[in-house]
Structure 1
Amino acid sequence: MSRRSSGLVGVWAEAQRQQQRQREAQQRAVVQQQRQQRAYERDLARMQREQQTAYRQGRDADARQRTQELEEQVAALARLLADGCGAAPFRVAALTRAEEVAPFEPGQLARPVVMPDPAQYQAQGGWTAGRRAQAQQEAQARYQHDWQAAQAAEAHRVQQLAAYRAQYDAWAAGQLAEVRTHNAGLAQLVDALRAGEPGAAVDYFSAALYASGAWPEGFPRQVSAAFDRGARQLVLDWELPGVEVVPEVKSVRYVASSDTEKESARPVTQRRALYRDALAQCMLLVLREVFAADEYGCLESVVLNGFVDDVDPATGRRAEIFLATVSVPRAAFGQLNLGQVSAVDCLVEALRGQLSARPDQRTAVRPARRPADVGTGVVSHGGGEEPDLFTMDPIEFEGLVAELFRARGMQALTTQRSNDGGVDVEALDPDPISGGRIIVQVKRYRNTVPPTAVRDLYGTVQGAGANKGVLVTTSGFGPGSYGFAEGKPLTLVSGAELVDLLHQHGLRGRLGAGSGGSASSAGAAGSSGSAEGSVPARRPAAEPSSEDFNLLGMTWTGAVSLDVCALVCRGARVLAEDHFVFFNNPENPGSSVRMVPGVGGDRAAVRVVFDALPAAADRLVLVAAVDPEANPAGDLGGFTSAAICLRDAAGLELDRLPVSDGRPGETALVLGSFRRRAGGDWDFVPGGKGYRGGLGELVGEYGVVVA
Structure 2
Amino acid sequence: MSRRSSGLIGIWAEAQRQQQRRREAEHREQVQFQREQERRERAAARDASRADREQRAAYRQRREAEARRRTEEIEARVAELTGLLVTGCQVPAFSTAALRRPEAVEPFSPGHLGQPVPMPDPGLYQAQGGWGFGAGHGREQYEHDLRTAQAAEATRVQQLAAYRGQYEQWAAGQLAEIREHNAGVEEMVTALRTGDPDAVVDYFSAALYASSAWPGEFPHQVAAAYDPAARQLVLTWELPGYDVVPEAKAVRYMPTADQEKETVRPAAQRRAVYRDVLAQCVLLVLRDLFAADGSGALESVVVNGFVDDHDPATGRRAQIVLASATVSRSVFAGLHLEQVSAVDCLTDGLGGLLSARPDQLAAVRPGRMPADVGRGVVSHGGGDDPDLYEMDPVAFEALVAQLFRARGMQAVMTTRSNDGGVDVEALDPDPISGGRIIVQVKRYRKTVPPTAVRDLYGTVQGAGANKGVLVTTSGFGPGSYTFANGKPLTLVSGEELVGLLGRHGLRGRLGGGSGTSGGRQPAPPAGAPDDGTAGEHGGAGEHAEHNVLGMSWSGAVALDVCALVCRGTSVLSDDHFVFFNNPATPDGAVRAVPPPRGDKAAVRVAFDALPADADRLVLVAAIDPAVNPDADLAGFTDARIRLADGAGAELGQLEVSDGRAGETALVLGSFRRRTSGDWDFVLGGQGYRGGLEELLGDYGIEVA
Specify the TM-score bucket, using the shorter chain as the normaliser.
Answer: 0.5 to 0.7
Tell me which amino acid in the other structure corresponds to 2:432. Answer: L
How do residues 412-491 of structure 1 correspond to structure 2 at under 5 angstroms? Answer: 472-473=429-430
Aligned counterpart, 1:571: none
How do residues 203-602 of structure 1 correspond to structure 2 at under 5 angstroms? Answer: 203-375=202-374, 378-382=375-379, 472-473=429-430, 492=432, 535=469, 543=486
Distance 1:230 1:333 in 2: 20
Give the C-alpha shift of residue 340 in structure 1.
2.1
Kindly name which structure, 1 or 2, has the bigger radius of gyration based on alpha carbons. Answer: 2
Aligned counterpart, 1:618: none
Give the C-alpha shift of residue 291 in structure 1.
0.8
Distance 1:310 1:414 in 2: 34
Q: Secondary structure at the match of 1:45?
A: helix
Give the C-alpha shift of residue 75 in structure 1.
1.6
Distance 2:175 2:111 in 1: 23
Contact kept? 1:123, 1:138, Cα under 8 Å: no
CA distances 1:322-352 after superposition (whole Å, capped 9, x unpaired): 1111111222222222222221122122222
Give the C-alpha shift of residue 417 in structure 1.
11
Q: Secondary structure at the match of 1:90?
A: coil
Aligned counterpart, 1:73: 77
Is 1:146–2:103 an aligned residue pair? no
Tell me which amino acid in the other structure corresponds to 1:283. Answer: V
Distance 1:66 1:325 in 2: 35
Contact kept? 2:414, 2:425, Cα under 8 Å: no
Inter-CA distance 532–394: structure 2 relative to 1 (3 Å threshold): farther
Is 1:30–2:34 an aligned residue pair? yes
Distance 1:219 1:268 in 2: 22
Aligned counterpart, 1:160: 159
Inter-CA distance 16–10: structure 2 relative to 1 (3 Å threshold): same
Inter-CA distance 540–366: structure 2 relative to 1 (3 Å threshold): farther
Contact kept? 1:311, 1:318, Cα under 8 Å: yes
Distance 1:193 1:313 in 2: 41
CA distances 1:249-295 after superposition (whole Å, capped 9, x unpaired): 11112222222222111111111111111101100110111011111
Give the C-alpha shift of residue 395 in structure 1.
7.5
Inter-CA distance 69–94: structure 2 relative to 1 (3 Å threshold): same
Distance 1:534 1:542 in 2: 13
Contact kept? 1:249, 1:265, Cα under 8 Å: yes
Distance 1:124 1:544 in 2: 70
Alignment equivalent of 1:52, drawn from 36, 42, 56: 56
Aligned counterpart, 1:407: none
Contact kept? 1:123, 1:136, Cα under 8 Å: no
Contact kept? 1:221, 1:383, Cα under 8 Å: no
Give the C-alpha shift of residue 122 in structure 1.
2.9
Tell me which amino acid in the other structure corresponds to 1:492. Answer: I
CA distances 1:426-471 after superposition (whole Å, capped 9, x unpaired): xxxxxxxxxxxxxxxx9969xxxxxxxxxxxxxxxxxxxxxxxxx8
Tell me which amino acid in the other structure corresponds to 1:368. Answer: G
Distance 1:36 1:183 in 2: 87
Inter-CA distance 124–183: structure 2 relative to 1 (3 Å threshold): closer
CA distances 1:453-512 after superposition (whole Å, capped 9, x unpaired): xxxxxxxxxxxxxxxxxx834xxxxxxxxxxxxxxxxx53669xx9xxxxxxxxxxxxxx
Give the C-alpha shift of residue 530 in structure 1.
6.3
Q: Secondary structure at the match of 2:338?
A: coil
Inter-CA distance 443–492: structure 2 relative to 1 (3 Å threshold): farther
Inter-CA distance 416–162: structure 2 relative to 1 (3 Å threshold): farther
Task: Provide the TM-score with structure 1 as the length reference.
Answer: 0.56
Contact kept? 1:251, 1:263, Cα under 8 Å: yes
Q: Secondary structure at the match of 1:150?
A: helix
Inter-CA distance 132–263: structure 2 relative to 1 (3 Å threshold): same
Give the C-alpha shift of residue 46 in structure 1.
1.8
CA distances 1:333-375 after superposition (whole Å, capped 9, x unpaired): 2222222222112212222221111111111122222111113
Q: Secondary structure at the match of 1:235?
A: strand
Tell me which amino acid in the other structure corresponds to 1:472. Answer: P
Distance 1:415 1:110 in 2: 32
Distance 1:39 1:73 in 2: 50
Contact kept? 1:356, 1:364, Cα under 8 Å: yes
How do residues 640-655 of structure 1 correspond to structure 2 at under 5 angstroms? Answer: none
Distance 1:269 1:63 in 2: 24
Structure 1: segments with no counterpart, 5+ residues: 405-412, 419-441, 446-470, 474-490, 499-524, 547-586, 591-613, 615-707
Contact kept? 1:300, 1:329, Cα under 8 Å: yes
Q: Secondary structure at the match of 1:121?
A: helix
Give the C-alpha shift of residue 57 in structure 1.
2.1
Inter-CA distance 372–105: structure 2 relative to 1 (3 Å threshold): same
Is 1:3–2:2 an aligned residue pair? no
Alignment equivalent of 1:94, drawn from 89, 95, 98: 98
Q: Secondary structure at the match of 2:324?
A: strand
Aligned counterpart, 2:549: none
Contact kept? 1:305, 1:325, Cα under 8 Å: yes
Tell me which amino acid in the other structure corresponds to 2:469. Answer: V
Distance 1:70 1:122 in 2: 80
Inter-CA distance 167–533: structure 2 relative to 1 (3 Å threshold): farther
Give the C-alpha shift of residue 534 in structure 1.
5.2
CA distances 1:202-244 after superposition (whole Å, capped 9, x unpaired): 0100010011111122111111111111111101010000011
How do residues 176-195 of structure 1 correspond to structure 2 at under 5 angstroms? Answer: 176-195=175-194
Structure 2: segments with no counterpart, 5+ residues: 386-396, 416-423, 438-455, 471-479, 490-636, 641-656, 658-704
Give the C-alpha shift of residue 416 in structure 1.
14
Distance 2:44 2:117 in 1: 79
Task: Provide the TM-score with structure 2 as the length reference.
Answer: 0.57
Inter-CA distance 532–216: structure 2 relative to 1 (3 Å threshold): closer
Inter-CA distance 170–66: structure 2 relative to 1 (3 Å threshold): same
Q: Secondary structure at the match of 1:146?
A: helix
Distance 1:76 1:288 in 2: 18
Aligned counterpart, 1:476: none
Contact kept? 2:195, 2:297, Cα under 8 Å: yes
Aligned counterpart, 1:110: 114
Give the C-alpha shift of residue 538 in structure 1.
5.8
Give the C-alpha shift of residue 136 in structure 1.
1.9
Contact kept? 2:468, 2:488, Cα under 8 Å: no
Distance 2:231 2:309 in 1: 32
Contact kept? 1:123, 1:132, Cα under 8 Å: no
Contact kept? 1:394, 1:532, Cα under 8 Å: no
Q: Secondary structure at the match of 1:254?
A: strand
Root-mean-square deviation (CA, aligned residues, Å) is: 3.9
Aligned counterpart, 1:681: none
Q: Secondary structure at the match of 1:324?
A: strand
Inter-CA distance 296–243: structure 2 relative to 1 (3 Å threshold): same
Q: Secondary structure at the match of 1:492?
A: coil
Tell me which amino acid in the other structure corresponds to 1:21. Answer: A
Give the C-alpha shift of residue 184 in structure 1.
0.9
CA distances 1:103-130 after superposition (whole Å, capped 9, x unpaired): 111011111111122222238569xxxx
Inter-CA distance 394–545: structure 2 relative to 1 (3 Å threshold): closer
Provide the identity percentage.
51
Q: Secondary structure at the match of 2:62?
A: helix
Tell me which amino acid in the other structure corresponds to 1:41. Answer: A
Distance 2:467 2:352 in 1: 50
Q: Secondary structure at the match of 1:304?
A: strand
Q: Secondary structure at the match of 2:256?
A: coil
Q: Secondary structure at the match of 1:380?
A: coil
Q: Secondary structure at the match of 2:274?
A: helix
Tell me which amino acid in the other structure corresponds to 1:5. Answer: L
Distance 2:299 2:403 in 1: 38
Inter-CA distance 320–396: structure 2 relative to 1 (3 Å threshold): closer
Tell me which amino acid in the other structure corresponds to 1:155. Answer: A
Give the length in aligned residue pairs: 441
